Amino acid sequence: MNVILNAGREKSLLRRHPWIFSGGIKHADANIDSGSTVDLLSSDKQFLARASYSPHSQIRARVWTFEDEVVDKEFFRKRIRKAIDTRYSLFDSSSTDSLRLIYAESDNIPGLIVDRYSDVLVMQCLTAGAEYWKETFADLLLAETGLATIYERSDADVRELEGLEPKVGLLRGSLSSPALSNVEGFVFPITENNLQFKVNLAEGHKTGFYLDQRKNRFRVRELSKDKDVLDCFSYTGGFTINALAGGAKSVLSVDSSGDALELCKENIVLNDLPADKHTALEGDVFQLLRKFRDEARSFDMIILDPPKFAPTAAHAEKATRAYKDINLLAFKLLRPGGMLVTFSCSGGIDAGLFQKIVAGAALDAGVDAQIVEHLSQGADHPISLHFPEGAYLKGLICIKA
């Protein structure tokens, strides 16, 4: 099956960007199955790439390869093996047993996300192409990792744009095997930098845990000694646990989910950390930050790791106001010499804009501050030079004068 592009629309492909939007297509053969493989041709019918076809999406085609090669099980075996081998060359398995093995376009497998949580693989198929090859991917993943269990979390909103229904549940194996004897329902512990965290595979955010923040959590551990820490949008306590492990004087965890905070408390017990130094507070972070300001409370370190305010650039204006609001309040709550660790995971907000937002927040708060570190996603979330959209997590560590 062939898809012919409008004149000039091949430029992005020549730069090795893997997406073709619907407006760039001049002609598509009739009756192309959703997710099946097509040849992308220039307006003068020269071969450009081989791609998956998404008839319901604005991103109509996602490139598998820019070479004239067969896209089949062996093709994907090589891609999956390369991605996994790269990850294992970067991580110390003695201190960490959970990491991202495959990161979609950044590993040249658009739409496929695979995270390893101890001895369980969690897989997301987010595009029509990934859904089309899902069973093949599952077989290859088990063969290449030597594991037996895959849990599917194909429930991200983006699937709706692909004309796909959400799918959640066991795809391969069982959670009741002897190797997984510590599983309680769908919750079981993982190890990250020698700390343990309970992960909820079925209901946790993303695939269960924010693996992309691993190195940033460890940095907080290094910096939190003897500090009063406020952990906002704390979820199940990734930063909280690391702050306590680093010797924080106190940690206040704030999140809108009572269930997440309960798991946070369980993680404190799991790591034998001092529960008397921890307080959990359920509520709206924006409202609670204002309440803390009105009560003249202050902290030595404030962590802001909010959810995605701007999934796309179209949401950037509204998101900018939200990011500015929470960072402004955080600056006001910091003691002199205090440290703000602030993040954005929004694809619609790039690193430059995020820094401008934080600078504007400091200005409006009437404080002077320095950026001492730039933070980003971990090495298991690589960024293809040809796909800058893969760089979504950006963070700053700021010191208040």
125, 232, 264, 345: the active-site residue? 345
Total residue count of the chain as it appears in this document? 401
- CA–centroid distance for 126 within its chain: 13
Q: Does residue 345 have an active-site annotation?
A: yes
Rounded to whole angstroms, the Cα distance separating 177 from 188 reads: 13
Q: Are 117 and 190 in contact (CB under 8 A)?
A: yes
Measure the CA angle with vertex 179, ends 76 and 168; round to 5°. Answer: 55
Round to whole Å and give the CA distance between 235 and 217. Answer: 13
**Torsion angle, CA of 235/167/156/60, rounded to 10 degrees?**
170
Q: Which of 132, 95, 118 is nearest to 201 (CA)?
A: 118
d(CA 287, CA 215): 29
On whether the CB atoms of residues 231 and 254 are closer than 8 A, the answer is yes
Exposure class string for 362-395: b at 16+ Cβ within 10 A, else e: beebebebeeeeebbbbebbbbbebbeebbbbbb
User: CB of 306 within 8 A of CB of 320?
Assistant: no
Rounded to the nearest angstrom, the gap between the alpha carbon of residue 29 and the centroid of all alpha carbons in its chain is: 36
Question: Which amino acid appears at position 156 of this protein?
Answer: A
- Catalytic residue positions? 345
